[in-house]
Amino acid sequence: MNTFMGVIANHPANWPMIRKLWLLFLMYISQKIFLCFNWTLLPILLRRQGISLGSIGLAALVFSPWALKFLYASMVDRIYSVSVGKRKSWIVPLLAVSLLAMPLLSLLSPQAHLKILLPAVFVMNFIFATVDIAVDGYATDILLPGERPWGNTIQIAGYVLGYMMGAGVFLILYQHQGWSVTVWAIATVQTLVILPIIFHHEMPPCTVPPDGSPTVTERARGKRGWAFINRPENRSFLLLAALLVLIDQGGAQLRLAMLADKGVGSAAIGRLNIWFGSPMCLLGAMLGGALLSKMGFHRILAMGCLAAAAMHSFSALIAHGFFIHWVGFGIMLGGEKLTAGVITFLTYSLIMILSAGNRSATDYAILGSLVALFGFAVNPLMGRLCDWIGYFYIYTGIGVLSILGIFVGRWLLDKIISGAGKIW
């Protein structure tokens, strides 16, 4: 095989990179369609029922399983069937359960059964978050170091396509055909995506590091998890991630509420996501993947922070009454997703580097869960603050923070690189 792929002869994990990326792409899409549909729909529904912005932020807790993965991620690394495969043992059964749950969910109505639907969405998020633990571990296992930046790009591309379908196509379908038809349509697409995942033969890890024993006590696992978090480079990473989450996600859900306040319907938001949001998120991720080796992490950080500053400033203008038309709304959502693409690529590239090893699923889940936890903490806080000071001052403040983030972020990146120089 070609040497530029870093092939180790006769090792199945080093099959062509395109094959590995395609498989991971399908796995990431499978988690995101239903997630993105509900992530976009719920704030719109709640706002139309007169729910406050702070309460809408709290409703985002139905997605909290994504922040709690670290509590049980080690179980996904430890418990599996050898005959099925370490990662497929979790991925395939859970995706099958999610698919079987769709017909039951189609019987509900978001307006009439919201109190039932919210716990159901929580359970579905728990299923998909657990799948994500196994998929992230699988990606870290089978991708060579030179392939990992493209693995992160594929991860975001899977999210983008899932977002385009869930928050775009299916949001429009919901507006015209209702909940039941939309859920059945999602189930049909899910089936087509899942079939290649079910029938593929699991690839073994590229390397099997000697660090750590496969059988340790729960106390030892807890100590090892805390020791991982407490590494200097990981502490610096978590500070950087908290800053980036505030810059990237601090006003994301508020934009949907703001559009609802300005009379924009769910179908119109779906079209804006298809034509502006999703392509710009993919562009941001591809820019990050293509430019990382040439520009380095520091310049990618600056690019993301500058994009965020521009996007928040434009959002403040819309909040103040300027650019109230579909082009202005499209630029706002497109800028949000461009920023998200760059910052998400940067964040998860660092996570993949810091979590490489024989506990990749656990360590990846620990860092990824803490990043998600920051996001869930930000949403209700920013919602309450926005109820108090309004959209304009929220976006102005986050825009200023985005500029400051360039300088603070560079300092934290230096500490991460200094502490983890051996794996850079």
CATH number of 39's domain:
1.20.1250.20
76 within a domain of the structure (yes/no): yes
Structure tokens at 97: 């359960």
Strand partners, 209: none
346 within a domain of the structure (yes/no): yes
Question: Are the C-beta atoms of residues 152 and 349 closer than 8 Å to each other?
Answer: yes
Please give the Cα distance from 189 to 162 (Å, whole number): 11
Please give the Cα distance from 302 to 289 (Å, whole number): 15
216 within a domain of the structure (yes/no): no
- What's the first-to-final CA gap in the chain, in angstroms? 26
Please give the pLDDT value at position 2.
Answer: 41
Question: Are the C-beta atoms of residues 398 and 312 closer than 8 Å to each other?
Answer: yes
CA distances from 253 to 12, 43, 192, 418 (A): 43, 7, 30, 35
Q: How big, in percent rounded to 5, are the helix, strand and coil portions of the chain?
A: 80, 0, 15
38 within a domain of the structure (yes/no): yes
Question: Are the C-beta atoms of residues 341 and 282 closer than 8 Å to each other?
Answer: yes
Dihedral over alpha carbons 20, 165, 33, 254 (to 10 degrees): 120
8 within a domain of the structure (yes/no): no
1 within a domain of the structure (yes/no): no
280 within a domain of the structure (yes/no): yes
Amino acid sitting at position 282:
L
Phi, psi for 81 (deg, rounded to 5): -95, 125
- The residues, ordered by sequence, that sit 6+ positions from 376 with a Cβ below 8 Å of its Cβ are 60, 61, 63, 64, 67
Please give the pLDDT value at position 310.
Answer: 94
Q: For each of the chain's 424 residues, which pLDDT tens digit applies? A: 343 334 443 344 456 788 888 999 999 999 889 888 888 888 877 777 777 776 777 777 888 888 888 888 888 888 898 888 899 999 999 999 999 999 999 998 887 787 888 899 999 999 999 999 999 889 888 888 777 777 777 887 888 788 888 888 898 898 889 899 999 999 999 999 999 999 988 888 776 554 444 444 444 454 566 788 888 899 999 999 999 999 998 888 788 889 888 888 778 888 887 788 777 877 777 776 667 767 788 988 998 999 999 999 999 999 998 988 888 888 898 888 888 888 888 898 898 888 876 677 788 888 988 898 888 788 788 888 988 999 999 999 999 999 999 999 999 999 888 766 544 4
Total number of domains constituting the chain = 1
What's the predicted TM-score (pTM) here?
Answer: 0.71
Question: Are the C-beta atoms of residues 280 and 338 closer than 8 Å to each other?
Answer: yes
Which residues span the domain enclosing 355?
A: 15-208+221-419
